[in-house]
Structure 1
């Protein structure tokens, strides 16, 4: 494409015919004007821009060919004759108003023909409509999410900074938090990326309808939204979070012929004068959202008096756990326990075909710490894969020394561990070095972990099943779409969520749920295990339903498997 600048025009002024040939190929509109600013000539691009034929424009005053509007105020600018009185103005950007009413964004520039005795000027008109649209789009994308149209992280952080300033200067009340759509990877597997984008837009619209004019909703990641609520004192935070959770849970979201129920986890913190900077507020909100997810409470609001302090982390997983877990790993201060899984109709723990392997931490004084205390911290501080490796190595070493070839073990694995590519390699290496028959080893993965890392979980499971190892899907029934993805997971046993089993003997709804889970598993040829079997009454009810295996305090409590495990 030929280009042109003012110097080209000046040096070409003595050869108008040659110059006319040159400007004919330009993508910029060029008009040659006489001393009275009448149009002498114009190139085809100028004809197209102005919407006027060359024969019509030539000889006419420039002001009668087009006018300009101020881009901001849309006020009519003075005619070119007035604007060029005296020194020519610098180039300007404005809205070109054609005689047929069409408007275009243009950049206008005059180049005087100073060396020409007859005077006159060249007028350059460049159509910047598309360029301006691209600029506007870039400016919009700088502060918005392209999928949902919501504000993005940059916009949210800017608003949070302003909210902190308002709190300090005016004492206003704000709340900040994160909202995560639960188990959305399953939905994406079903509807694809286009469908998941549309469903997220629907979720955003449902939430936005419950927000005030001063509230801000932003999309920060695939399934994470940010919330900044105005006029929200600390005592109202939990109620607002629960309200938003309810409105999502009560809504139905559809894509083509599919309809979905979705849930969200919400963690929120107050924005106060003692909140510190924006980074501390966001860190506290992230901790709150993780607590909401891990504790399965769906909405968590930190206490106003200690929300931004590290003492918050004590309930969630104090930073001191980091050093304690490291020390325990280094000094081998973990112990393996086991609990039998027995046939429901012949519950003899002495002849249990499978034992679930459990973990305890040993304090310096010899006291034991239950996994519920240190496992969340290990996951939070990215130590869980180290713990899982320790358990796998120690359990397989102990199993290799067991003379009973009929005994098998089930080892729990964290969802965070199986999401690490290197962990699969480590497990394969430990297993192959152990010499244990693959039929004696099972791994337990919770339903939540499998859903949260569906593709990686499937890859992990397929790789180990190809070597003869088996899998138990733990806590089945705790997710929102259990049946929808069960057929896509390569599992050998289904462990029914203990929350349904506990009340089975007295609660007809829970009995119906357990019945349905067992029937679906039976159709698929998957044996079922019921955990939390606390008494004979529950076991007998499970036997009536046909559940294959049972486990719990009513059968036998967990007991030490070995005093010193390898690792």
Structure 2
């Protein structure tokens, strides 16, 4: 049956029959009568392909009770203008169509009027509109004929009756969808145009033109053999009927049922009118032989029609599922927009004048406030807004990890486009928000073809665009080393953690007593070392913490990094247990590590594993609001009780430093180098360091001064009562294996 062109779940129950549709019904009925062929065999009329009953049934399917007036007029016309035999035939057809339509509507309900080709309705339509309709017609016709024409035969179970029944079923299964198509096009021509576009798209997406030409030529050859009266050759008999099925099935599957179904109706009309071409009574010995040939051919044709219809419906359903899966594969599930995979596929098929990336980092924060649904609704709204701005000159794609990507067919006025984006407002519940977006684009074809590299560079430039407040153009000359290096650094960092192969550096921290009087013999420790870390690439390039720590923080690797540093330090100390049994080290801990619930257990395990006395380790933590956390305080208290010392690093740079110093229980205070380096020339720095020292002494804390760069600073700090000095003047970081412990 004919396939639905579009989703017409909006049913046609309120449709009124326009005058043009009524006129089309009568004109098509006259044409159907003209095209209908029949034969009289043994005083019985055999009607071949007949579109009258399909036309009446299609009108009832389309308009239901609203079709009754026009059918009444049609009956009156036939009653007064046609002989009794024709009126009996029409009466049988009307009764059969009305009863089968009532049963069909009772079984299917409001969906009964939708376009043909729906797999869910096909069994009901074949059952009620084809089988029941045809059977009722044959029974009513026999009964009416026996009542009004006693001279006619009243026997029902005859070969002629079976032939009529099969041809009528053949007419209904193909003719009702065809008549429905014609009537609906007359009712709404725009729907007809949509149907033609659907046929065109189906044919265009089907086999190559050469295959289509070969199929059409083969079909013409078969039809020529069937309708030509040349029975001296086997090909010009009903033998050629057998070749119709594979040819039509191939067309149904490969070309589409929307085109093949009307074509099959035309073929059936020709087979009905030119039946003498392949079954001629002149070449049969008796009426029985001729009837036998007719019943075989009618059965064959009906089976062909049933197979073609079933194959068409199943093929259409499979095509629909395939298209649905393709849409899912090419679309982002939460927004329905085309995804990165679709962009890659489209760039392979179509050229692009430019590629533009639009990114809004603020979405991440707003998502935490309003929920994840906010992000998806914002993206959909912005996509719709951009579509209107571009006037169909571009296609929009969405990649959750990057943002909106626009494939531009023509390059718009980018500054105007950027300003329009800044004017966009998104309403979410009661809030109206304007989110600034970064815009980066490129017109370089070579860069667009290398999609992965292009997106990476566009991504980083979109951030720069957001900071500068203007769109940025990207060209192949723009270096992408930072992006590539970030990836390399992340990989090197992960491998160093997994293999426990961080490069440990040691920087000495020396007592001011040793600095002032280097020859004096002192009791207790006069120096210890702070552990610093570096990464080394395969090319022996050193990577410093200010480069890889932000990546570690972003990737959630800081806790693992701290544990790795501690374990590598303990392992080194174990190797020096004989030569340097009293060496001390200071190790930095990040707030992320201190907040881990299993951090303390891991530290305790490492102390025991490497047999390291806790008193030999100083843990440095950054002065921040994290150390006010109860869990962090418990961890620090436990470490101090075990024997380790706690140092507050970079003191003076955090908020509320004095208040925190009053409440904090620690052993060592490390003054940030920004105060130390200016202590000679800046009275404020001097007074700040002096006040830090006085308060630390009240708390019985030792003091370490960082960034000691020369002798003058070292002496000044010693005069102020600083306990320990650290900096390049004291000693530069060296690999821990080379440090003088």
TM-score normalised by the chain length of structure 1: 0.47
More helix by share: 2
TM-score normalised by the chain length of structure 2: 0.37
More strand by share: 1
Report the structure number with the largest CA radius of gyration: 2
